[in-house]
Amino acid sequence: MKFPLIFGSTTIALLLAFFASRSAAQKIVVKAPSPLTCGNPSDAVPLYWSTIPSVDVFYTTVISDITSVVRGDGYDFGGIACLVFTTQELSTVPLFHVYNGNLIDNFYTTSTTERDLALESGYTASPTAAYIYPSQICGSIPFYRIYSSIDTVHIYTINVTERDAILALGGWTDEGITGYVLDFHSTCA
């Protein structure tokens, strides 16, 4: 079968030169997650969030928990924050959840030290929120934590632009990276 020649030989030569120069200038490295170190991405589930603006943000993998706080506690449904695991997967650690009813603050951390300090400061332990990676492996992305001491609110996001915009408002502290999660926009999970 013959195919019609759409491009002239000069056009083809230019296209080949362009792609050859691009491949020489850029190395594209694609790493597949190693089954020996990564959780199964098909086991990842949405981490939903809801908020009472300037009061609290609540995160959970359990949609009935979101429904409960939206209907009963006045929270607004925010959407999906990221993808996480509900059970311990390879290389993941617990994302601890503690809550302070007097401050109306949900706090999430992978650090047992931070969790224990919060418990000593009047927070109560809640069930483990999820399991996430402690370092950037397996195609994971940072889960940033910012804090307002004025409103006693912790916010978590995968969006660096959102984090920076909130920090620019003033009154917020960048508390770094809580852990590493999977992007819900990804087609890999």
Which strands sit side by side in the sheet containing 105-109, from one edge to the other?
A: 105-109, 93-100, 124-132
Span 61-77, pLDDT tens digits: 999 999 999 998 889 99
Task: Read off the DSSP letter of residue 55.
Answer: T
Instruction: Read off the pTM.
Output: 0.78
Question: Domain boundaries in the chain?
Answer: 41-181
Q: What is the separation of C-alpha 26 from the centre of its chain, rounded to a whole number of angstroms?
A: 28
| pLDDT at residue 33 greater than cutoff 80 | no
Tokens of 124: 């109560």
Residue 17 has pLDDT above 60, yes or no: no
Place of tokens 């919060």: 118
More confident residue, 119 or 73: 119
Report the alpha-carbon distance of residue 42 to residue 44 in Å, rounded: 5
Q: Determine contact, residues 34/40, Cβ cutoff 8 Å.
A: no
Answer yes or no: are the C-beta atoms of 91 and 37 closer than 8 Å.
yes
